[in-house]
Amino acid sequence: MLTRIDHIGIACFDLDETVEFYRATYGFEVLHTEANEEQGLREAMLRINGASDGGASYVQLLESTRDDSVIGKWLAKNGEGVHHIAFGTEDVDGDAEAVRGKGVRVLYDEPRRGSMGSRITFLHPKDCHGVLTELVTAAPQATPGH
């Protein structure tokens, strides 16, 4: 089932400023950046470490590009901070079905495209003790871990 903590998603007002903070404070470097117009956000993935399963753990910084995006609405309500936790899995489809069978609401009927070509879905925070939870399967050609 789940193999590791893939990443912690952190919502921020200024992606470049926040990246610089993580670089200067912790020495994390940006592995990948992308803009997702469909979701109305820009993101940066900062690699923390490798894992024994060949994956890695990341900090994902998320900046809204539109006030009406999920991140834009979240920032307006909550300000900057932890937005979600993501668990890595080899089978996002199977694991989503397994947790759905245990009464947890899965937010997407079918997994969607995530960062770096990954496949993702989210679990409802009210069913996960207040934590928005993401399940992630890395794209085959992606850097191990995401």
Active-site option among 39, 43, 83, 146: 43
- Catalytic annotation present for 38: no
Is 37 known to be catalytic?
no
Active-site pick, 39, 63, 83, 134 = 134
3-state secondary structure of 102: coil
Contacts of 111 (CB under 8 A, 6+ apart): 92, 93, 96, 119, 120, 121, 135, 137
CA distance 123 to 45: 21
Question: Is 29 considered catalytic here?
Answer: no
Q: How far apart are alpha carbons 107 and 54 in whole angstroms?
A: 28
Strands, DSSP E only, in the chain? Answer: 2-12, 30-36, 41-50, 56-64, 81-89, 112-113, 119-123, 133-137
The answer to whether 146 is a known catalytic residue is no
What is the distance between the alpha carbons of residues 122 and 111, in angstroms, rounded to a whole number?
Answer: 9
- Please confirm, yes or no, whether 134 is among the known catalytic residues: yes
Alpha-carbon span 43 to 10, nearest angstrom? 10
**Residue of 39, 83, 84, 146 marked catalytic:** 84
Which of the following is catalytic: 39, 60, 63, 146? 60
Q: Which residues are marked as active site?
A: 7, 43, 60, 84, 134
